[in-house]
Amino acid sequence: MITVHHLGISQSERVVWLCEELGIPYTLKRYDRDPATKLAPADYRALHPMGIAPVITDGDLVLTESGAILEYLIARYGDGRLAVAPARPNFADYLFWYHFANGTLMPSAMTGIFSSMGGLAADHPILRVFGQRTERAFALIERRLDEVPYFAGDEFTAADIMMVFPLTTMRGFVPRDLAPLPHLRDYLERIGARPGYQRAMAKGDPGMTPLLS
């Protein structure tokens, strides 16, 4: 039996959501953040040498990294559902957006958090560079969602599960006004209507209202 070790208000919501979408049986074990540091508690950090979320256990296997976990579950238990096969014309689109979430979007936004914590001035060149990169990312997202209903094309895929966290929950840490992004707002409304997403958020973070607007 798969155990999803869910750190509250974290990327591990993606794993809970994937399991709900695919109907994969799992045990959910929730961990609250340390009230003082807002970081993972000691028992969560002890699960894996990196001490970060998300984490799953499957028998003797302990696996971390959102992208790796989603690929593992899709291949091992999901019969390839919610992935895009290499022969499909939108395979490259799927790969791009699947990796864009953690490869570009989240690092750009998180750099601003860490730089500010380090006392850098708002006009520091590092903050300016990564701020511009984030703006380009959101402009690209808006253009994409003007063209297609989901990031990989016409169908909902794991690329959406990867992308939604930095567009929703992460905005609790890095606020962003979505008013100038109507296609993104429409997209998040579609996501919020999915029963799998609703179940995942209710189970994983029952006290949090998803930031879908």
Each residue's pLDDT, cut to its tens digit, for the chain (213 residues) gives 899 999 999 999 999 999 999 999 999 999 988 888 888 999 999 999 998 999 999 999 999 999 999 999 999 999 999 999 999 999 999 999 999 999 999 888 776 665 555 556 666 666 666 678 889 999 999 999 999 999 999 999 999 999 999 999 999 888 889 999 999 999 999 999 999 999 999 999 998 999 998
**Confidence at residue 126, expressed as pLDDT on a 0 to 100 scale:** 65
Q: Is 10 inside any structural domain?
A: yes
Question: At 33, which CATH number?
Answer: 3.40.30.10
Residues 97 and 74 in one domain: no
Residues 123 and 182 in one domain: yes
* Contact indicator for 19, 56 with CB cutoff of 8 Å: no
Q: Is 78 inside any structural domain?
A: yes
Q: Rounded to 5 degrees, what are φ and ψ at 144?
A: -60, -45
**Confidence at residue 184, expressed as pLDDT on a 0 to 100 scale:** 98
* Contact indicator for 162, 197 with CB cutoff of 8 Å: no
**Confidence at residue 25, expressed as pLDDT on a 0 to 100 scale:** 97
Q: Distance between CA atoms of 28 and 130, rounded to whole angstroms?
A: 35
Q: Is 205 inside any structural domain?
A: no
Residues 118 and 166 in one domain: yes
**Confidence at residue 16, expressed as pLDDT on a 0 to 100 scale:** 98
Sort strands 61-64 and 26-31 into parallel, antiparallel or unpaired. unpaired
Domain holding 63, by residue range, is 2-82
One-letter amino acid at 75 equals A
Q: Is 206 inside any structural domain?
A: no
Q: Is 26 inside any structural domain?
A: yes
Question: At 124, which CATH number?
Answer: 1.20.1050.10
Number of domains in the chain: 2
Q: Which two tokens stand for residue 100?
A: 């864009």
DSSP 144-190: HHHH-SBTTBSS--HHHHHHHHHHTGGGGTS----TT-HHHHHHHHH
The CA-CA-CA angle for residues 64, 90, 109, to 5°, reads: 45
Q: Is 121 inside any structural domain?
A: yes
